Amino acid sequence: MRKKFDEQLNQLNDMLAEMAEATKKSIADADKALIGQDVELAQKILDSGDEIDKKEKEIEKFCIEIILQQQPVASDLRLISAAQKIITDLERIGDHAEDISEITIHLAEKQYLKKSEHIPQMAAATMKMVTDSIDAFLKKDIELAKEVIEYDDVIDNLFQTVKKDLIELINENPDNGDQAIDLIMAAKYFERIGDHAENIAEWIVFSLTGVHKDSKIM
């Protein structure tokens, strides 16, 4: 019975890793489309959004099947419960990549007022957080999960820098306001992606310790 359970857990790991890869690609493509004003790529992100949603539903169904078949307890149950929470955050990350793509399409016919170095840095930082958080889950590495939680400050700081730069553009010329606000929103979506990656890391800590933030749950 345990052998079958371990095989199911390994399959769950593979499914999560696959969903995480799709999510990371959506972040990278959203950044590339935004910076390059690539409407075709932005539209592809919107058109493929259902793929991540489908993966979430498949994993959720599989988790329920494992619980019903194996009736796990203690750390095994925490692991599966954490996986269910993680896929929700991954799906929301995919949604934010779509949000950024919608902004890209909206701005497509307008030349950017200022080249942004910090938004691509935010995108790279969020992809690192997603990568490290999933690695922490697969390897049951609590220290790596904690590093992800701390790394969210990097993205928060970058967002404040982007916002400051764009507000300065508005102050220089109020006519810059519409584009600056759209780009601030795009940066905000990257910041939210970082928040979801931090959530994933917090659920990993829970799966290993039974403690989520300051509250003991299971």
Mean pLDDT of the chain: 93
Confidence of residue 109 (pLDDT cuts 50, 70, 90): confident
Q: pLDDT category, 49, cuts 50, 70, 90?
A: confident
**Is 215's pLDDT higher than 70?**
no
Mean pLDDT, residues 26-37: 96
pLDDT score of 115 = 77
CB neighbour list of residue 116: distance below 8 Å, 6 or more residues apart:
35, 162, 165, 183
Stretch 94-122: mean pLDDT? 91
93 or 213, higher pLDDT: 93
Q: What is the reported pLDDT for 218?
A: 47
- How confident is the model at residue 73, as a pLDDT? 87
* Rounded-to-integer distance, Cα 133 and Cα 110, Å: 36
Picking from 147, 188, 150, the residue whose alpha carbon sits closest to that of residue 166 is 188
Tens-place pLDDT, residues 53-72: 999 999 999 999 999 999 99
Instruction: Classify residue 197 by burial, with Cβ atoms within 10 Å: 0-12, 13-18, 19+.
Output: buried
Give the pairing of strands 215-216 and 211-212: antiparallel
Q: Exposed, middle or buried by CB within 10 Å (0-12, 13-18, 19+), for 61?
A: exposed
Reported as type and span, the H/E element at residue 199 is helix 177-209
On the question of pLDDT at 11 being above 50, the answer is: yes
Domains of the chain: 2-216 (1.20.58.220)
The Cα 195–Cα 89 span in angstroms is 9
Question: Across residues 138-146, what is the average pLDDT?
Answer: 96
Q: Which residues pair with 211 in a beta bridge?
A: 216
Share of the chain above pLDDT 70, in %: 97
According to DSSP, residue 38 is labeled -
216 pLDDT higher than 80: no
Does the model's pTM come out above 0.85? yes
Q: Which residue has the higher pLDDT, 46 or 217?
A: 46
Q: For residues 73 and 79, what is the distance between their CA atoms, to the nearest angstrom?
A: 10
